[in-house]
Each structure stands twice: as structure tokens, then as C-alpha cells.
Amino acid sequence: MHINLCLIGKKVINYNQIKFITSKEEALSQCRKFISTNIPNSKQIFAPSTAQAIMDIKKNQNDSIVAVGPKRAAEIFELNIIEQNIQDKKNNITRFVTLSNENINKNSHDKVSIAFAFEQTDAPGLLFGVFKSFADRNINLSKIESRPTGDGIGKYIFLIDFVGNLLDSNVQKCMQEIRKNCSIFKVLGNYCSNL
């Protein structure tokens, strides 16, 4: 979903009248350039969500407090938009997912996320073996990351996203093969490829 963030207030005021700006931390960081350029002396107040920030300024009597949030929220709470599209990146996208314990429909365009670590700290060909398991089954990898485990130098956990579905027998065989050589193996989820 495309997100265009706005500067929202009880009334339209000049930037130099703004003393406080509130929103979800991520929303404020997505508008860092706008804030530092136009209202650098404002104090930031973090809220649990953009909606909560907007509700808070609606209740507050102080007009020098503004919020960052979507245009629709300003309309719902009958507040004023001081400035539109203040996010640093114009193609700002937020992804929403639905979590479920139930299996999803089999669809060859789904993606799967897994996390794993090896029993051995380091040895030639460990990661190659994982990649080979995918390649042998013609499963396309779409994302590969490594993160330090925090258990010492050279110890990593690997995160891989790939095109497939957990209900597919080909994918199940690949997961079984990879799991054999790992001290940690976790399927993080199966999700639609358009996310």
C-alpha cells in the first residue's frame, strides 16, 4: 500500500509555530529530511501509531503540536493538513500481512522465508550445499541475508526467501535436506509473492 505522509494539525499554522511533532517512530524517520529542513527545532514525541498520534493532537489544546500521518486519518478526525507528501521517498510503501495457523492455498507464485544456522562454525561448502538443494529442485532464491548470532566471531544465522509453497512436495524435500545439516532451522512463513 502506498503511503503518503502529511503534516497534520488542529489548524493550519506556520512551520515556525510548531514546537512538537508526534507520530510513530518509523513515520517520523521516513520524514527526516522534511522535519530537519522545515521544523528543525521541534521536539519529537513518539506515539504507538500514526492514528494514536493524530487522536492525541485532536484532544490536546496546544495548537503548536502537530502529527505525521496519512491524509485519510486527518479527514476522519476532522483535522487540517498543513503539508502533504512530506516523506523523504516518494514511493513510500507499507506492507500488511495476515497471520494464520492454517495452511494457505497452493500457488506456485508464493514465497517462503526460512532461517537457519549450521552445526559447524565454518567449513568450505556449507552454504553451497544449501544453495545446491534449491538449485537441484529448480527453486528460485529471491533474498539471501546473513546476521551474526552474537555467540562469537564467525557464527551466523542465514535468512533466505524463495519462490515456492510449503505445501509443495518439492519444497518439503528441499527443507528436509537442508534441515539435516543445521543446528537451527525455522520456517518463518509462507506469503504471497506480491508482498
Tell if the pTM clears 0.75, that is, is over it: no
User: Which pLDDT belongs to residue 133?
Assistant: 95
Answer yes or no: are the C-beta atoms of 91 and 145 closer than 8 Å: no
Q: How far apart are CA 125 and CA 132, in angstroms?
A: 10
Show me where the domains of the chain are located.
5-83, 111-191
In the sheet that 111-118 helps form, which strands lie side by side, from edge to edge?
141-148, 156-163, 111-118, 182-191
* pLDDT per position as a tens digit, 34-55: 999 999 999 999 999 999 999 9
Which CATH number describes the domain made up of 5-83?
3.40.190.10
Class for the domain spanning 111-191: alpha beta
Q: How many CA atoms lie within 13 A of 3 on its CB side?
A: 18
- Cβ within 8 Å of residue 83, ≥6 positions away: 6, 7, 34, 38
From CA 126, how far away is CA 178, in angstroms rounded?
A: 10
